[in-house]
Amino acid sequence: FFSSRRRHTRLQGDWSSDVCSSDLAGWVASPSGTVTHVAADQVDDGYLSMLPDRQGGIRYFSAPAEYLGSKAAFSGGGLSFMLKAGSPVSASVNLVLEGAGLVLTRSAGSCPGLSWKDYRIPLFADGGWKIGSLSGQAATQAEFLAVMGSLNRLLVQGTDDTGAVLFGLDKVEIGRAHV
């Protein structure tokens, strides 16, 4: 597994570590807004969240540079992360991968509740990835490999569809074996 905490340990040929417990670790908001670190307390070991934004609309957590670049070795593996919502919401959580001039999108499933929800997403073409939008054509294996081979953006939805409900993000990992 590979994740964004600065302290990494080797585990079965993949990179493994925690995320979001001590700082922003390079995560930013997209297309606008601010990502903030929520400090550890008696329940959580720290995580990322969005600050409220007057512009509204969906905002995403945009992954730092260490998640980007040539990630073709992770094709066939998986992406995992945890989200929780600041208040109840009914919608879906979307992901975006950009690279090689292509945009791939995928629904990760329903929005989280007030407790942490674990998401495990397959990183292969027939894992539900679409070209351009959720209603686009299914990505081919060649398209998926091209994107993973030159990944320049990895986005995880950080708000509900209106931008009013903010999500917390933690434990983002990319693994070679499906997670």
Does position 127 have pLDDT exceeding 70, yes or no? yes
Percent of the chain with pLDDT over 90: 56
Q: Do the beta carbons of residue 80 and residue 121 sit within 8 Å? A: yes
- pLDDT at position 42, please? 66
Tens digits of residue pLDDT in 150-173: 999 999 999 988 888 999 999 898
Q: 58-112, pLDDT tens digit by residue?
A: 999 999 998 899 999 999 999 999 999 988 888 889 999 999 999 999 999 998 9
Q: Which pLDDT does position 57 carry in this prediction? A: 86
Q: Which pLDDT tens digit goes with each residue over 15-39?
A: 433 455 557 778 999 998 899 988 8
At 99-124, the pLDDT tens digits run 999 999 999 999 898 999 999 999 99
The two tokens of residue 19 are 């995320």
Phi, psi dihedral angles at 172 (to 5 degrees): -85, 125
Stated as kind and residue range, the H or E segment containing 146 is helix 141-149
Specify the pLDDT at position 83.
Answer: 94
| pTM, full prediction | 0.87
Question: Residue 126, exposed/middle/buried by CB under 10 A (0-12, 13-18, 19+)?
Answer: exposed
